[in-house]
Amino acid sequence: MMLEGKGTVVTGAGSGVGAASALRFAAEGARVLCADIRLEAAEETARAIEKAGGTAVPIARDVADEDEVVAMIATAVEQFGRLDVIYNNVGVPTPRLGSKLEDHTAEDFQRLFAINVGGVFFGSKHAVAQFKRQGDGGVIINTGSVAGLVAWGGAVYAATKGAVHQLTKAVAIEGAPFGIRANAICPAGMPYTGFMAAGGLSGDTDAVAERTAANHPLGKPITAEDCAEAAVFLASERAANITGVLLPVDGGYVAR
C-alpha cells in the first residue's frame, strides 16, 4: 500500500495512461479524484476503482481552463481533506501525425499549447499553492514524452512536451525547500491507448504495435500500465529523494 490514505488527483483519468494510473493509485491505497473532460469516462474509471474496493470521485474538468483547475483541486481537498499528489497527465497529439512544421495551423499550435502545456502549468501552479498551505510537501507528476527529449513526434507537439519538461524541472527546484517533488514520465509509442490513433495513425492496431515495438530496443510497445507503474513509484515515499527527473518509459528508445 505505497500510497495509503493519500489524496490524489489524476487528470485524463477516463482513458489510457490516466485510467491505468488512477486504478494503480487506488490499488496502492490512494483516494483518487478522477478528472476528465468527459464525465462519463471519469465515472467509468471511478466505478472500476470502487468495484475493486478503492475510493474514487469522478469529476468533469477542462485542464486548459484555470478556473476549472482551481475548482478541481478544491474538490479534492473537500473530498479527501488534503492534496498529496497530482498527476498532470492530460495531453493531445499532433492533429495529423507526420505533419511538418509548416503544415501546422495557428489553431493546431494554440490547441496543443493550451492543453499540453496549459494543463501542466495550471495543475502545478495550484497544487504548489495547496501544498504550501498544508505545509508538509507534496508530489507533482507530469506526462512528458520522448518527443520532448529527441526530435520525434511532430515539431509543435514535441515543443509542448519540451515545455512540460522544463516546467517540471523548474517546479522541482522551486519546490524543493518546501518538500515538494516534481518529476515527469516520458513515454515512447503507445499504440494501445488510442493516443496515436487520435493523431490520425490508421491501420490495424496490432500491426501498428508491431511497427512501434520495432523502434524500441527492448522490442515491445509501451503500455498505459508501464506508465502507471512508474507514476506509482514516483508518487510514493520510495522516491522520496527523486525530483526533477524526466523518466523515459520507452524500451530504451532514447538510449540508442
Residue-wise pLDDT tens digits, 173-198: 999 999 999 999 999 988 776 655 54
The answer to whether 56 touches 22, Cβ cutoff 8 Å, is yes
Q: Is 192 a catalytic residue?
A: no
Higher pLDDT, 190 or 237: 237
The answer to whether 140 touches 242, Cβ cutoff 8 Å, is no
Report if residue 181 sits inside a domain.
yes
- How many domains are contained in the chain? 1
Can you give the pLDDT at residue 206? 80
Domain that residue 39 falls in: 7-255
Report if residue 15 sits inside a domain.
yes
Report if residue 152 sits inside a domain.
yes
Higher pLDDT, 202 or 214: 214
User: In sequence order, what are the residues at sequence separation of 6 or more whose Cβ sits closer than 8 angstroms to the Cβ of residue 245?
Assistant: 183, 184, 234
* CATH number of the domain that residue 159 is part of: 3.40.50.720
Higher pLDDT, 97 or 94: 94
Can you give the pLDDT at residue 106? 95
Q: Rounded to an integer, what distance in angstroms lies between the CA atom of residue 147 and that of residue 209?
A: 18
Report if residue 168 sits inside a domain.
yes
Sheet holding 31-36, edge to edge: 55-60, 31-36, 7-11, 85-88, 138-143, 180-187, 246-249
Q: Rounded to an integer, what distance in angstroms lies between the CA atom of residue 240 and that of residue 169?
A: 16
Can you give the pLDDT at residue 100? 87
| 23-62 per-position pLDDT tens digit | 999 999 999 999 999 999 999 999 999 999 999 999 999 9
233 has pLDDT over 80: yes
Residue from 87, 157, 192, 253 carrying the catalytic annotation = 157
149 has pLDDT over 60: yes
Q: Which alpha helices (DSSP H) does the chain contain, by range? A: 16-27, 39-51, 66-80, 106-112, 118-134, 155-175, 195-198, 205-214, 224-235
Can you give the pLDDT at residue 207? 80
For all residues of the chain together, what is the average pLDDT?
93
Can you give the pLDDT at residue 98? 77
| 106-135 per-position pLDDT tens digit | 999 999 999 999 999 999 999 999 999 999
Can you give the pLDDT at residue 199? 47
Report if residue 83 sits inside a domain.
yes
Report if residue 40 sits inside a domain.
yes
Q: Which amino acid is at 96?
A: R
> Which one, of 80, 78, 37, lies nearest residue 56 by Cα?
80
Report if residue 133 sits inside a domain.
yes
The CB-side HSE value for 83 (13 A sphere, CA atoms) comes to 29
Report if residue 1 sits inside a domain.
no
Q: What is the arithmetic mean of pLDDT over 157-167?
A: 97
* Ramachandran region, residue 194 (left: φ > 0; alpha: ψ -120 to 50; beta: rest): left
Q: Rounded to an integer, what distance in angstroms lies between the CA atom of residue 61 and that of residue 148?
A: 26
Can you give the pLDDT at residue 191? 79
